[in-house]
Amino acid sequence: MSSRCSLTSKRFKRAETKAALVLLTPTIIAMLFLFIIPVTQVVIMSFTNWNLATGVKEYVGLKNFQYLFKDKNFSKAIINTFTYSAVKLAADVVLSLFIAVLLDKPLPFRRGFRIIYFAPVVVPVVASSLIWIWFYDPGIGPFNQVLTAIGLKPLKWLYHESTALISIIIFSIWKGLGYNTVLFLSGLQGIPESCIEAAHIDGANDMQTFFRIKLPLLSPVINFVVMMGIINSFKVFTEINVMTPDGGPLKSTLLLVVYIYEQAFTNGRMGRGAAAALVLFVIVFVLTIIQRKVSKKTVNYDYD
């Protein structure tokens, strides 16, 4: 009897293994062609001098990486990317959380406000970028008209090196604010009412309830928003290319992805573009690991 049971269990395990292989095969094939092979090609390409104009491809070792770290534009692209990411991420988290807290309360016209703040997310980036180019126009743009009306000096916005990057950051915050707000709002509405009621019974006011109950319970959502914000900030390209082509005035909006595009497709240096792409991959990978380690340390809170 025991031998029959063991044979049956072995057959069942084999059937499970075969079923798992069949179900995983499409995913494995997709990962192979969409990730493993392209990444391998980029790594190989980064050690070559592949010129698109001439079609010549030769092995050059680490010369592409040496060129990158001597290139002033590459250094500027790294600084601009970190500046863009830090400012946008901080503003995204603070503003979206603030709006989510407001919309979590019984305000009049709350449904209308939810539609308004989420509308920019569904508008195509190219279309919204073209509209904001008009907003930023130094002569007829609404932003300068508002500044002039309140007695302030008009700005050149996208057309000056001191304001071009912050102009892109403002647009990017407006574009992605609704998505993060939805995440925070869903997290707030998922907090049990019993926790909030217990805090009020203990004498906590709204401010204390938010910082001691709601904010700690929102830590998984905050960690997700930060992680996705890091990834998305380091791969931004479309709005830069539309609003400030060629890296903007004096390369003030030159980000890493824009630099990769210029090296690979504008200059035809695929090897240098691949090397820059690898550097970008390493930076995002390291930052993601750091963020995950920090998030693990902040998961457990003491509510006493």
Question: What is the distance between the alpha carbons of residues 233 and 240, in angstroms, rounded to a whole number?
Answer: 12
Q: What is the mean pLDDT of residues 153-162?
A: 91
More confident of the two residues 52 and 9:
52
Encoded tokens for 19? 């079923």
The percent of the chain in helix, strand and coil, each rounded to the nearest 5, is 75, 0, 20
Residue 164, phi then psi, degrees to nearest 5: -65, -45
Q: 3-state DSSP call for residue 140? A: coil
**Above pLDDT 70, what percent of the chain?**
92
pLDDT at 134: 93
pLDDT at 4: 55
List the beta bridge partners of residue 48.
Answer: 59
To 10 degrees, the CA torsion angle through 238, 242, 247, 249? Answer: -150
**pLDDT band at 172, cuts 50/70/90?**
very high
Q: 3-state DSSP call for residue 110? A: helix
Question: What is the distance between the alpha carbons of residues 120 and 239, in angstroms, rounded to a whole number?
Answer: 14
Encoded tokens for 191? 């907090």
199-226 residue pLDDT tens: 878 777 878 888 888 888 888 899 889 8
Question: What is the distance between the alpha carbons of residues 263 and 81, in angstroms, rounded to a whole number?
Answer: 17
178-197 residue pLDDT tens: 899 989 988 888 888 888 88
274: exposed, middle or buried (C-beta count within 10 Å: 0-12, 13-18, 19+)?
Answer: buried
Question: What is the distance between the alpha carbons of residues 213 and 196, in angstroms, rounded to a whole number?
Answer: 7
pLDDT at 20: 77
Question: What is the distance between the alpha carbons of residues 49 and 119, in angstroms, rounded to a whole number?
Answer: 45
Residue 60 near residue 47, CB atoms below 8 Å: yes
Measure Cα distances from 283 to 39, 80, 81, 259, 293 in Å.
15, 14, 11, 15, 16
**pLDDT band at 301, cuts 50/70/90?**
very low
Encoded tokens for 277? 């792409």
DSSP 299: S
pLDDT at 304: 42
Residue 269, phi then psi, degrees to nearest 5: -95, 85
Is residue 9 predicted with pLDDT exceeding 70? no
pLDDT at 291: 83
Question: What is the distance between the alpha carbons of residues 260 and 46, in angstroms, rounded to a whole number?
Answer: 12
Q: What is the mean pLDDT of residues 294-299?
A: 68
Identify the CA nearest to 253 among candidates 165, 152, 145, 124: 165
Task: Name the pTM for this structure.
Answer: 0.85
Residue given tokens 């509405």 in the structure block? 189
Domains in the chain: ranges and CATH = 67-297 (1.10.3720.10)
95-117 residue pLDDT tens: 999 988 888 877 676 677 777 77
List the beta bridge partners of residue 269.
Answer: 51
